[in-house]
Structure 1
Amino acid sequence: MEYLFTTVPGLEDFVIEELSERFPTSRAKGVYMTGRVVAEVGAEAAELFRLRTVERFGIFLGDGFGEDLSGVVEIAQRHLAGSLRYLTRFTTVGVRCERVGQHGFTSRDVEREVGRWFKERGFTISLVEPDVEVNVDVVESYIAVWITVAKRSLKDRPWRVYEHYASLNPIIANAMVRLAKPKPGETVCDLTCGGGTIVAEAAELYPHARYLCVDISLRHVKGAVKNTAAFPQVDVLWFDSTKLHRAVRPVCDKFVFNPPYGFRIPERVGRLYRLLGKAMRRLARGCATYVVITPRHKTFISQVGGELLFRRVVYQGGLYSHIIAGRICP
């Protein structure tokens, strides 16, 4: 069946990678920075709830490109006939539009016009808990039409007991760990681990590596202990990471972390990154790979140094951030 998957904008190829790992996938396409992937997958919908790079998914009806409201509605109506096989005269229908970008119309305008198409065919429109939810997503000029299967977000993880006030989206954490690709026996260090999202996601994906989760906040460390309780390969440490090399021998084969980016204290961020880079060099067991996410990627690269291997823009929490991977040596 042909499905549409939503994810963090910028991580579309990671969805395709995971699909190809888990299921027979005959074809897949993703439009960069739309957060949308369309794939022909040989799996039942119930099996897809195990995906870790996906937020929501549903049955794909069609897509296209349009600039104004009439263009969006035209593309939607072109594909809506495919939804009729899932409807009866007793079925209520809901229309949902997620819109990203600058447009001369609103999401409500799209929902109203598409809803009219169903009303004209005798279907009852429901704004609350419809039997069938039809999505018309408008991301800049890209339009995707699909039916919701996963109403709850797949990014909610069962291990997350403690919620950090600025917790990283587990989907982003999953992508970062995939870039690091920990090998059995390697130690991965998260120097600013907060509630432990990265190490928990990593331990689930690569269970044969070791993980060190370090944070300066005792409250967050206690939360990380709760979040990683199911993963014995994770050690949690309450310490200042910029001074960790004074207490710990070089043990880190890879670093994966989400450092503070300090829009409120920009003058301190450069110094923090410089100290983290110094600690990384002293903690590295030989040359080590690092993967970090920050909107201040230029500052991080200039202060930490090393060889830049990869850079990717993602859109999260209203910010364009950069996932950067590099190599650092003692």
Structure 2
Amino acid sequence: MCGGVKVVLKFFATTITGLEDVAADEVWRLLGVEAFTDVSKVFFESTLEGCALLNFSAKSINRLYLLLARSKASSLSEIESVVGSQSFQEFIGREQSFAVRAERHGVHSFTSLDMAATVGRAIIESYRSATGVRLRVDLSNPDVEFLAILRDNDFILGLNTTGPSLHHRYYRLRHHRAGLAPTIAYSMLMISGWTAGEPLLDPFCGAGTIPIEAAIHALNIHPGLRAEKLALRKLRMFDAERLEEMSRRLLESEKNPEPLDITGVDASPRSIADAESNLEAAGLKGCVSFTVGDALRLERVLTEPARRIVCNPPFGLRMGLRDPETFYTEAFRSMRRACPGAGLTVLASKPVVVVRALENSGWAVLGERRILLGSISGYIISAAT
């Protein structure tokens, strides 16, 4: 993006553990290149243009990094040697500040903070050796951010081209206390097999994340274009005029908002009000039908059956469920009555309870996958009647 020749570079994108294949599929759809899955990330090759496009358009990834180094290392001295052999002048201007974030997985004789300090020192020394300038460190608001990951003895150094995670969508003004990350919502839609135009229902919509992500997908909206602090706009290897030209083209490719066959139902009037606020903040007012209703009596709410049901039901005492299995069984029966022949994709914290409820209500379980919601396991379960 800084010249006529398109140089192919190595990248990796981070995502939710358990959803790496969804992210790899999205990389293929957007860039036409194969991505290889790893733990919580996917690796692929592309150009700076591809990097910008993915930042602007992707819905399943959190951050996108330019891969600077990958090597075997098990000690701080080995890590320092790997980083110190890299050149950083094309990534950081002399007047810019930087920071290093570090993740460590496995048993080591040092901490993540030790590793971050070592990588930072090596970057400073490499840059000073090449330019005579000592870079400034700013851990709070850096111009350029590096990520160092050590998993056992696999060391990776990346340059953050995204900034804050893309799961922080521009429209999320209101949050439900058990709300779902938009990246997971989008991934569930893809796992469900839903396609734009198919009637879609979320009977536990909360603040509307799943229906809004469906509308964003259906209308070809590029959420990253609305991100306030995309890091690539500060990175010197990206040409500002070309970024603006790409932004303009992508905005022109978006469809005009229109009513879609997407419905969100929730028993809480406050949640529905929050969903409407988020929908308006997304610039999609009127595109989704949100309504107050009882998930146990959906036939009283819906005017026509949905072909796909994607939802994140409430769970646990904190959400007022003293007998989750009975509640889920009644809810799944309601979905089956109101939407005969529909496919169902549901996020569960207790898969045994949910599977039993599905089977007791006449659904056939088709598949189950485990994902990580922070440090807690979640399970995406697919079913059909």
TM-score higher than 0.5: yes
For 2:175 and 2:355, locate their aligned partners in 1 and report how far apart those are by CA, in whole Å: 29
Which sections of structure 1, spanning at least 5 residues, go unmatched? none
- Partner SS, residue 202 of structure 1: helix
- Partner SS, residue 299 of structure 1: helix
Corresponding letter in the other structure for 1:49: N
Q: Does 1:217 align with 2:268?
A: yes
| Alpha carbons 1:290, 1:327 under 8 Å: kept | yes
- Partner SS, residue 84 of structure 1: coil
Q: CA deviation at 1:240?
A: 1.4
Q: CA deviation at 1:225?
A: 1.4
| 2:17 alignment partner in structure 1 | 9
| Alpha carbons 2:358, 2:365 under 8 Å: kept | no
| 1:303 alignment partner in structure 2 | 357
Which of 326, 331, 343 aligns to 1:271? It is 326
Which of 238, 242, 261 aligns to 2:315? It is 261
Larger displacement relative to structure 2 (183-192 or 97-106): 97-106
Larger displacement relative to structure 2 (179-188 or 51-60): 179-188
Q: CA deviation at 1:267?
A: 4.2
| 2:115 alignment partner in structure 1 | 110
Matched ranges for 1:116-127 at <5 A: 116-121=121-126, 122=128, 123-127=134-138
| 1:24 alignment partner in structure 2 | 32
For 1:15 and 1:157, locate their aligned partners in 2 and report how far apart those are by CA, in whole Å: 17
Shift in alpha-carbon separation, 1:18–1:83, aligned structure 2, 3 A: farther
Q: CA deviation at 1:194?
A: 0.1
TM-score by length of 2: 0.75
Q: CA deviation at 1:43?
A: 4.8
For 2:110 and 2:291, locate their aligned partners in 1 and report how far apart those are by CA, in whole Å: 51
Q: CA deviation at 1:140?
A: 5.8
For 1:58 and 1:81, locate their aligned partners in 2 and report how far apart those are by CA, in whole Å: 19
- Partner SS, residue 171 of structure 2: coil
Deviations 1:245-267 (A, max 9, x none): 24546612111000112155674
For 1:98 and 1:131, locate their aligned partners in 2 and report how far apart those are by CA, in whole Å: 20
Which of 44, 51, 54 aligns to 1:48? It is 54
Q: CA deviation at 1:42?
A: 3.7
CA RMSD of aligned residues (A): 2.5
Q: CA deviation at 1:88?
A: 5.6
Q: Does 1:93 align with 2:147?
A: no
| Alpha carbons 2:358, 2:364 under 8 Å: kept | no
- Partner SS, residue 85 of structure 2: helix
| Alpha carbons 1:73, 1:114 under 8 Å: kept | no
Which of 148, 152, 163 aligns to 1:151? It is 163
Q: CA deviation at 1:188?
A: 1.1
Which sections of structure 2, spanning at least 5 residues, go unmatched? 1-8, 129-133, 220-258
Which of 363, 369, 372 aligns to 1:312? It is 369
Q: CA deviation at 1:117?
A: 1.8
Q: CA deviation at 1:275?
A: 1.1
For 1:30 and 1:76, locate their aligned partners in 2 and report how far apart those are by CA, in whole Å: 27
Structure richer in strand, relative to its length: 1
Corresponding letter in the other structure for 1:20: W
Larger displacement relative to structure 2 (49-58 or 82-91): 82-91
| Alpha carbons 2:71, 2:82 under 8 Å: kept | no
- Partner SS, residue 18 of structure 1: helix
- Partner SS, residue 59 of structure 1: strand
Larger displacement relative to structure 2 (315-324 or 78-87): 78-87
Corresponding letter in the other structure for 2:100: V
For 1:48 and 1:247, locate their aligned partners in 2 and report how far apart those are by CA, in whole Å: 38
Shift in alpha-carbon separation, 1:130–1:159, aligned structure 2, 3 A: closer
Corresponding letter in the other structure for 1:221: I
Deviations 1:188-239 (A, max 9, x none): 1111100000000011213596111011111101011122231534211101
Deviations 1:237-294 (A, max 9, x none): 101111222454661211100011215567421111111111111011x321111111
Shift in alpha-carbon separation, 1:120–1:185, aligned structure 2, 3 A: closer
Aligned pairs, number: 321
Which of 182, 197, 200 aligns to 1:188? It is 200
Q: CA deviation at 1:8?
A: 1.2
For 1:30 and 1:184, locate their aligned partners in 2 and report how far apart those are by CA, in whole Å: 27
Deviations 1:296-317 (A, max 9, x none): 1111110112222222111113
| 1:59 alignment partner in structure 2 | 66
Corresponding letter in the other structure for 1:269: P
- Partner SS, residue 8 of structure 1: coil
The sequence identity of aligned pairs, in percent, is 27
Deviations 1:66-111 (A, max 9, x none): 5x5x1x6625642553442424655543221134566553221111
Q: CA deviation at 1:131?
A: 3.5
Deviations 1:16-46 (A, max 9, x none): 1111111232x42121xx3222211245243
For 2:47 and 2:93, locate their aligned partners in 1 and report how far apart those are by CA, in whole Å: 27
TM-score by length of 1: 0.87
Corresponding letter in the other structure for 1:187: P
Shift in alpha-carbon separation, 1:323–1:127, aligned structure 2, 3 A: same
- Partner SS, residue 35 of structure 2: strand
